[in-house]
Structures are given as structure tokens and as C-alpha cells.
């Protein structure tokens, strides 16, 4: 009597045929997520494409260079039509405004430098959209992010992308273990974006040569100040630019026009040495400036920590890891001392300039590129 053999594991990690594996693909309308959807459809998976409408459709139609805009919704639908799988557009405007846009404005008013793309992944895409994928009886949800999900000895792990230039781990540190178990990132192993575009051309996708998105989707031309002024008119109230001793050097027309580390556009002339923004005080509407050395920081308070390590975060007094405090900077050695299961003091081996509240501090294993989580920098 022949024994039934278990089904081979498919490319998404399930022991069943691709046709019996439903995968919801989060489609922004760009080339990356379009290739993911096309690739999985071509492999025979039961693909369902979902695109989120995140902000005003009328305004979005005229906006280029961002995801989830009107043109992008149309492009995602064309890809679905080309590859022959269903595609749905979900209206998430209210959720996006409450969870991302309003917090972005409030953070800026609070003197922080927020990273709304992280909050969007955390609060919208990997929370509400992932819940929708489960409601559709999907086995998993796939995205076009450049990051790798690998099976470790104990559980699914998050690893940096093979292409360091495209790696998006800084923006995905808050992915929880439960979410990681359900998510798939089919592009993370590719060596370059050229490979992605070659795949798009191979599948005959209209987005093969579409430019990458650059700006924050709801911030036209990178003009944060105009967006925040529209949402919070009081943000443009004038105030004083003062030195670190409190001496008034100049006037300004709103703290929203300044960020930590800024040098240009301060309107202070006649000085032998340049000055930099070292602190923002929204309560007094003061911009505090000082010499470059005043920007150097070694100790960083971090909270709202999401931990992806194998042992509990607070199971030891200190972790010797690498950390990244800006998306454009490489990871640097640091000692992380847990204060609770979700807060810590991070001590950098070498001081860095321009550490700002509202930015993320992402934790990496010193070798192997594994992301162990991270948290949000706040005022000490």
C-alpha cells in the first residue's frame, strides 16, 4: 500500500500547491509591488491585488512621484488586468489621516522630526490591510518592500535586503512577530532594482519604466511646512531664534520651518563660525542654535520598542548591537540597556550628529544583517 507523501513546500513556504495558496498583494501602483503580484500570478498562486486610497482622490490624480495616488491606482488595476487576477481599491482615507497625517503634524509641532512612512506601515498597511487579507481567507500577504524574511532556528526572522542600496529595514522595524509570520517579501533577495525592472518588462507590465516614488505621498514636492500649516495654522506663529544661553539672535516665522541639524536658512549673518539648529522648543516657539559640536550625541532614550530577538528584550542588562538612527546612515555599534520591555537607553560607541526626537532607532545583529527591532527616539 503506497503511503501519501506530504505536498512539497511552495515558494511562499506552504505545503500545498500554489493554486491552493491565496496571497493578497499590497499594490501601490509602482513597479515593485506590481512585479510581486505578476510574479506570484505567473507562478500559479491565487493572487488578490489590493490598493489603498490613502488621501483625497481628486488631489491625488494630479500628484506624481508618490504611492497610492490616483494614477497609481489606475496602474495597479492595469497590472491586475494584464495578469488576470482580481483587484480591489479600499478607501482608507480616514484611517490614514488619523494614524499618519495628523500624527505627522502633531509630531512636528512637538519639535520632533517624524517618519510617517514607518507609521503608515505600522498602523495602516501591516495592521488594517493585513486584517483585510485575513478576512479574505489569504494564507499570507506579500509586498514589494526590499527586505528579507528568513526562517531561523526558532521562528521567522527579518533580514536586510540583498541590495544594500535598496534596503528598507529602517522603515519596517516595527513589524511585529505575528505580522512577520503572515508577511512575505519576494523582492528582498534581488541583487538590484535593474532585476526588478527586467522582470516587469518580461511580464509585459506598463509600469516597467515607471520612476520610483520620492516624496512622502501626502507632502507635495517635499514641502512639509505648507502641509503642516494647512493642518495646524498655529504652527506658523512667529518666535525667536536664540543661542544656547538664551540670547536672541533673530526672529523666525514658525518652528515648522526648522529641523535638528539645519544650518542654512537661519537668517543669522556676521558670525565667524556657522550655527546649527540644536533644539526646537514648541512651547516657547523658540529655535535654539549652537555650534556643530552641540549636535553630537552618544546617549539616546528610546521607547515604544518592538523586539524581534529570540530571548526577551529585558532578559539581560545590555545588548551589544548595531543601530541605525537615520535611514541614510549605516548601522553603528552601540550598547542597548533595557529599562523595561519597551524602553531603553542606547549608548553609541561613537557620537553622532543630528539625533532628533521622532526618528527611529533600529537594532541590527552585528553580523548577518538580522533586524532585531527598534524604537522611537524621544526627549530625555
Question: Which residues are the active-site residues?
Answer: 120, 217
**Count of CB atoms situated within 10 Å of the CB of 153:** 6
Q: Print burial letters for 15-33: b (CB count within 10 Å at least 16), e (below 16).
A: eeebeebbbbbbbbbbbbb
In the DSSP assignment, the letter for residue 162 is: S
**What's the CA gap between 349 and 333, in Å, rounded?**
6
Residues 188 and 156 sit within 8 Å (Cβ to Cβ): no
**What's the CA gap between 15 and 44, in Å, rounded?**
15
**What's the CA gap between 213 and 215, in Å, rounded?**
6
**What's the CA gap between 331 and 214, in Å, rounded?**
23
Q: What angle do CA 141, 93, 176 make, to 5 degrees?
A: 35
Tracing cell 540644536 back to the chain, one arrives at 278
Annotate 250-262 with DSSP letters as a single string. EEES-GGG--TT-
Tracing cell 483625497 back to the chain, one arrives at 56
DSSP alpha helix (H) spans, the chain:
31-42, 57-61, 70-83, 93-96, 102-109, 116-120, 130-135, 177-182, 193-202, 224-231
Amino acid at each position: 500500500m503506497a503511503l501519501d507523501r506530504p505536498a512539497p513546500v511552495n515558494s511562499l513556504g506552504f505545503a500545498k500547491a500554489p493554486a491552493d495558496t491565496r496571497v493578497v498583494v499590497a499594490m501601490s501602483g509602482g513597479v515593485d509591488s506590481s512585479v510581486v503580484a505578476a510574479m506570484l500570478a505567473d507562478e500559479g498562486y491565487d493572487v488578490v491585488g489590493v490598493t489603498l486610497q490613502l488621501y483625497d482622490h481628486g488631489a491625488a490624480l494630479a500628484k506624481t512621484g508618490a504611492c497610492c495616488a490616483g494614477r497609481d491606482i489606475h496602474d495597479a488595476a492595469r497590472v491586475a488586468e494584464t495578469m488576470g487576477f482580481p483587484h480591489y481599491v479600499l478607501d482608507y482615507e480616514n484611517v490614514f489621516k488619523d494614524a499618519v497625517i495628523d500624527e505627522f503634524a502633531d509630531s512636528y509641532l512637538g519639535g520632533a522630526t517624524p517618519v510617517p512612512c514607518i507609521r503608515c506601515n505600522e498602523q495602516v498597511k501591516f495592521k488594517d490591510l493585513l486584517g483585510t487579507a485575513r478576512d479574505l481567507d489569504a494564507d499570507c500577504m506579500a509586498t514589494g518592500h526590499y527586505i528579507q524574511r528568513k526562517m531561523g532556528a526558532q521562528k521567522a526572522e527579518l533580514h536586510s535586503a540583498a541590495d544594500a542600496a535598496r534596503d528598507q529595514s529602517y522603515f519596517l522595524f516595527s513589524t511585529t512577530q505575528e505580522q512577520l509570520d503572515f508577511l512575505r517579501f519576494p523582492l528582498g533577495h534581488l541583487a538590484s532594482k535593474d532585476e526588478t525592472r527586467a522582470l516587469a518588462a518580461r511580464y509585459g507590465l506598463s509600469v516597467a519604466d515607471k520612476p520610483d516614488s520620492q516624496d512622502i505621498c501626502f507632502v507635495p514636492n517635499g514641502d512639509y511646512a505648507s502641509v503642516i500649516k494647512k493642518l495646524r495654522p498655529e504652527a506658523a506663529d512667529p518666535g525667536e531664534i536664540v543661542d544656547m544661553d538664551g540670547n536672541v539672535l533673530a526672529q523666525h516665522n514658525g518652528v515648522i520651518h526648522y529641523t535638528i541639524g539645519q544650518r542654512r536658512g537661519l537668517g543669522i549673518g556676521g558670525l565667524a563660525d556657522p550655527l546649527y539648529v540644536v533644539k526646537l522648543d514648541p512651547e516657547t516657539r523658540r529655535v535654539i542654535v549652537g555650534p556643530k559640536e552641540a549636535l553630537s550625541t552618544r546617549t539616546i532614550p528610546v521607547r515604544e520598542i518592538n523586539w524581534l530577538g529570540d530571548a526577551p528584550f529585558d532578559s539581560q542588562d545590555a545588548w551589544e548591537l548595531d543601530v541605525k538612527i537615520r535611514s541614510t546612515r549605516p548601522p553603528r555599534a552601540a550598547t542597548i540597556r533595557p529599562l523595561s520591555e519597551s524602553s531603553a537607553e542606547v549608548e553609541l560607541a561613537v557620537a553622532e550628529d543630528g539625533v532628533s526626537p521622532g526618528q527611529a532607532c533600529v537594532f541590527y545583529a552585528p553580523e548577518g544583517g538580522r533586524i532585531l527591532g527598534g524604537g522611537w527616539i524621544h526627549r530625555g
